[in-house]
Amino acid sequence: MIEPLIKIAILIGGLMTGAAYFVLLERRMAAWVQDRVGPNRVGFPLSQFVSGLKDLRLFGLGQPAADGVKFILKEEYTPAHVDKRLFVLAPISILVAALVTFAVIPFGDVLPGGVFGDEPIEMVVSPGAGVGMLVVFALSSIAVYGVILGGWASNNKYSFLGGLRSSAQLIAYELPLGLGILGVILATGSLDIGEIIGEQARTGWWFALTQPLGFFVFCVASFAEAARLPFDLPECEQELIGGYHTEYSGIKLLLFLVAEFLHMIAASFLIVMLFLGGWHFWFLTGSGSEATWFQAIMRLVVLNAKIFLVILFFMLVRWSWPRFRFDQLMAFAWKVMMPLGLINFVVVAILDQLKIVSGNDSSGMNLVCALAAWGICIGAWVAISIAGPLVADNRPRRELNSFEIDSQM
């Protein structure tokens, strides 16, 4: 039991610390995009503990600690009209679902044996889970219950309507999210995340190159599932003040906010592992299941570097794009993402069958299939844009006739 406990401690400690400092990074990213100064003052007050020492600012690195202490010491106020049991259960359930998802997501490759023991060490809390992607989807869908419970337990119409529309968004975008993954599962024939990474390393072709349409669909759906701009309708604090968690404060609100960042981190893990090769990088990490210590360390570095860059992309998009309206959000899911996901699945099935029939799995055949997939990707985007343009008429309803209203519904 020692090895799993050490992995759990490393994972939970790294995720919680990472979530705290990613908040600081995002605030600095927002300041950079908006051409202003971000948090750079709060450091560590050493003079409060040892007289004669100077306080350390350290570029504002003490800000996450200060925010955490503020949340913990903030008054735990629970309104009298709420359902107290469900009110407490909602943030706990959404945080537990966000954490347990990482049990089957590897945070590295395999460490060679010989130092810590004769057996190699798999850098995942639950190794050997052959249905890792199924577990990830099952656990991540539990987050919807936390959103619904938060809105329902608050016992007011404002939070309840916020919970309804938030759950509608999360459920709607689970479908294109699954369709984006189906192409990867079809190409590898496995639900195991390690096998998916190994297939990309073996062929040298990342699935973002051979399945661009699935990659775009999965990325967009990941933004919506993580409730990130331009799909942050569950919160959109400028208009809603908080939506389903308006009544929450203190440590319970902190659980909701940490769970949101954990969803973004989990989405970044999956984007990298399913479509960007995971730990694989050409001429650097090798492609076999067994690796030397140098290759194992480089695989760990490459994987975390890719994840960090994807998280930076999440943050850059948040402060660069305007928010969708709710009707545009749902229309985008059903009229754009769903058709594109189905097209990607059919195209991947046809190309995979062609490779099987021809018996040719060479680099040349993979290049031909990749070019065909990119052509179909561009054609599908153009066709969807022409067939169903997302043009919204903002005129008041009383100025529209009945035919125009029916055509917009």
pLDDT tens for 36-59 read 888 888 887 777 777 777 777 778
The yes-or-no verdict on residue 214 having pLDDT over 60 is yes
Residue 308: exposure state from Cβ atoms within 10 A (0-12, 13-18, ≥19): middle
The yes-or-no verdict on residue 76 having pLDDT over 70 is yes
The answer to whether residues 154 and 244 touch, using CB atoms and an 8 Å cutoff, is: yes
pLDDT tens for 136-179 read 888 888 888 888 888 899 888 888 888 888 888 888 898 999 99
Report CA Rg, the chain. Answer: 23
The residue extents of the domains of the chain are 1-71, 74-408
Average pLDDT of the chain to the nearest whole number: 84
> How many residues are given for the chain?
409
pTM: 0.88
The answer to whether residues 32 and 75 touch, using CB atoms and an 8 Å cutoff, is: no
What is d(CA 128, CA 408) in angstroms, rounded to the nearest whole number? Answer: 50
Task: Return the axis-axis angle of helices 157-188 and 212-225, rounded to nearest 10°.
Answer: 150
